[in-house]
Amino acid sequence: MIQEKAKKRGRPAQLLQVAELNDFMHFLRGQEDSELRTEVISLLRDNKCNFERLSEPQQILVKEALKPYRDHMKMQLLADKLEAEKNNSEYEKKFLKLHQQYEQGYLDNTDINLLKMMCNRYLRFKAQKLDVSDLELYLSQIQKNEAKKKRTAENRRKFEIGGAIIAACKELGTNPYTSAEDIKAQFMEYYRYFRRIRQTQFFAEASARTGNYELEYDVIFTALNNLSNYKLEGKSITAIEIERAISEVKLK
């Protein structure tokens, strides 16, 4: 008696609908450029988004590129569901906030992975009919990690700004190793002085006539120095204006 060969068991081949592949194509075009992304877009375009027309190796490539799209759709569906509900839990509110930032393109890869984790954990709790309120424990851990991440970013920023200030001091010939308060006072004084100069009519006219950010400074200081060449009753125009300004300031 001839024994029949055992039939292969397993998950049947996944055939994707044209509409889904069209939506997938739209998703891919909004992603960062990569070799896989470019190849999959080309395959789908050449085969009119018909999955059945692809060879087996080509289908494998498409399925690999589909993974982030599946995650994207899963998160989108959950966000739509939660937005339609009232009285969201703190966990749900956090997910919705992150998802909104994700849609706006504000999340880095670490935060996107956090969003995926929150989505999967929520769906798993729902599927197993567990108490969703227990997710608040995970939320507490997430908030601690976020606070730590924020502190790290702030410390890095302070370090970068400190390095920039030291470099600026060296370039300007100022001692960068005086006290932090002295350096702060110097920079505040320079900034206020510079800002007031920019608010003068003299600066506005020079800026309008030059139309060049770098050129206008040389023009302004050259013009100011040249004013000393003009005299009235033996006094330079600059001396007259300075004396008048001193009187005006004293009267205030």
pLDDT in tens, 101-154: 999 988 888 889 999 999 999 999 888 888 877 888 888 888 888 888 889 989
Overall number of domains in the chain:
2
Closest CA to 86 of 96, 71, 73: 96
Based on the domain organization, do 207 and 106 belong to the same domain?
A: no
pLDDT in tens, 176-186: 778 888 888 88
Q: Residue 61 is part of which domain span?
A: 18-151
Based on the domain organization, do 146 and 246 belong to the same domain?
A: no
DSSP run (H or E) holding 232: strand 231-232
Q: Are 94 and 142 in contact (CB under 8 A)?
A: yes
Q: Are 145 and 94 in contact (CB under 8 A)?
A: no
Based on the domain organization, do 132 and 212 belong to the same domain?
A: no
pLDDT-derived band at 16 (thresholds 50, 70, 90) equals low
Q: Please, which residues have CB within 8 angstroms of residue 57's CB and are 6 or more apart in sequence?
A: none
Residue 79 burial (10 A CB sphere; 0-12, 13-18, 19+): buried
pTM, rounded to two decimals: 0.56
Based on the domain organization, do 139 and 206 belong to the same domain?
A: no
Based on the domain organization, do 131 and 233 belong to the same domain?
A: no
Name the more confident of 9 and 225.
225
Domain membership flag for residue 120: yes
Domain membership flag for residue 247: yes
Residue 131 identity (one-letter amino acid): D
Q: Give the Cα separation of 25 and 19 in Å (integer).
A: 10
Name the more confident of 52 and 10.
52
pLDDT-derived band at 252 (thresholds 50, 70, 90) equals low
Report which DSSP code applies to 30.
Answer: T
pLDDT at 77 over 80: yes
Q: Give the Cα separation of 21 and 41 in Å (integer).
A: 10
Q: What is the pLDDT of residue 98?
A: 94
Q: Give the Cα separation of 76 and 73 in Å (integer).
A: 5
Closest CA to 236 of 247, 246, 225, 220: 225
